[in-house]
Structure 1
Amino acid sequence: MKFAFGLPHTIELPAITSKWELAVTGPQQAEMVRRADELGYDMVSVPEHFVVPHSHLELSGPHYLHSTVAQAFVAGATRRIRVNSSVTILPLHHPIVLAKGLATADWMSGGRIFATFGVGWDAEEFAALGIPFHERGRMADEYLAAMVELWTSESPSFAGKYVSFDAIAFEPKPVQRPHLPIWIAGDADAALRRAARFASGWWPFLSSVDELPAKIDFIKSQPTYDGRPFDVMYPLGMGRVGEGHVTSDDPNFRPGMGKQEIVDQLCRFAELGVTYTSVPPPRLSGPEAYLEHAQWVIEEIKPHLPTLDKGRS
């Protein structure tokens, strides 16, 4: 099983953000993610919103980064760790511009960028950007197809309702082939079908861990799934925050769990198809304690978990 490092102060979510995180700056984030890289973490990811309506501030907080810009920053600060998003709100981007940004970051990082795409949930955010909220799923499908065309074709051409282009060059291509990995976020059947068509990974947010096998089977049963290797990200403590940033209890995690309890839970996750995970820290005093916990996870938890990704096919 592979481990994700949670980079502090990518959000200011009242339900889970410690007060000390609010003082963490961008340069300090670079130092912390470099340490995570040294420790052997496999992935770091960056969430995204462009604006937060006042009606959601109490739950969501105001602080979000542009995922692709932040990914490039993190990649530039590190040497080995792979850099994901969680999530990039695809319909709020122009697909040509986003494809260029991700390809640029992948090329400059030597092939360490991938992205988890979602369709968004906040109608007011869409309204602020002038994007039709109720067309976001159709837009996402078209945008993904257009981006793959840009990343893989020597002379990209695409004709759709929302984006069209022809007789153009698009360089540099991503280093990763056939293109940088696409993950899909979301739990609805439409998201699962999107994952089957485009993705090599899935990041659920509202599903319980016991629901994962059936949903993974649903993805792999779709005619558009071609047997490609497939990852599933499911953090320990996933149930604490759901869509709209509403907190809920996670029966698999409680603060203060011991080493063996955590290992047992994550071994069960692996049996159910999870290939990536993370272990939330207890309430800590600051960056040094946070990194000490991160080191403890790698040294005391990771060695006791399966090294083969049982969820991959």
Structure 2
Amino acid sequence: MRNIFLILTIAFLLSSCVGNDTVILKQSIGKINKVMVVAKISDWTGDVGQEVRNSFGELMVGLPQPEHFLSVSQVAPNGFSSMMKASRNILIITEAKNEAFTVKKNVFAQPQTIVYVQAKDDESIIKLFQKHKNEIKNIFIDSDIQFTQRIFSKDKIDNSQYKTLSNLGVTFTIPKKFKTVDDTGEFLWLRNHLMSGIAKTGSNNILVYSIPLSDETQISDNIVAVRDSIGKKFIPGSDPETMHMITEEAYTPFTFDAIIDGKKAYETRGKWEVKNDFMAGPFLNYTVIDKKNNRLIIFEGFTYAPSVSKRAFVFELEAIAKSMKIN
């Protein structure tokens, strides 16, 4: 009798799973800004692999030391085990008669992004990859941005506690590890002390403020002047009389078009330094055009982390910036 009951119970559970068409995926694994490439060894050591490494090997602008936007590792198709299939970002390159470029989510694990590139031979694969390389890179970066934002959302600050954010009518997904340095009602400065390795003396910083919107054609040209004026007013060095943050004079920042909260924006990456001092590091600035309120909303993140890689710190700031919502 007991065996019959057990069999009926198992049958019921199995039929329930099938009836609901429910598949429970495992949790994905993998570091931020890391892509696993599934390709034959001969492809990886040949022209196909060289093209992938060159495309993903673009250096992140504004960092003091050379660091790539994305790191890659390779596994052969016969070594693509169940553990490997749990990787969060995967690029699969195969030879097939039909040429195809496709993107799928949550195939073997979640959250997961898999990009498939297939063509009839190496030359065709390279052409297809070159055609879509910027799109592929952005797909993986955006995936990691969303992943990071989900992590931050589990333990985020209450935006309403900050006078500046309330007055400006903006919100961000900022983890609670960031603490207040200054909150005037017009200018917000948050800081996260870095507690690991050599960087334990360093910090990751967030600035939020706004300025009036005047000549829209001059916005990108004035970004450095605006940030330097803010540095002089709000970001002092060890001697406030002679030291304050400025844009590093020996390095010209790069500015790109961007979209934040559906609004036109400018993304600027460069290096900061403290005038008359030896402190320096990378910064990331988003200047967002808020036409409805005739103003520019400015988010800036800057990192001070001597002697360690800074890509991960700047990426965290990018994820926070791109969570901006303007009321």
Q: Which has the higher strand share?
A: 2
Q: Which has the higher helix share?
A: 1
* TM-score (normalised: structure 2): 0.24
Larger RCO: Structure 1 or Structure 2 (Cα < 8 Å, ≥ 6 residues apart)? 1
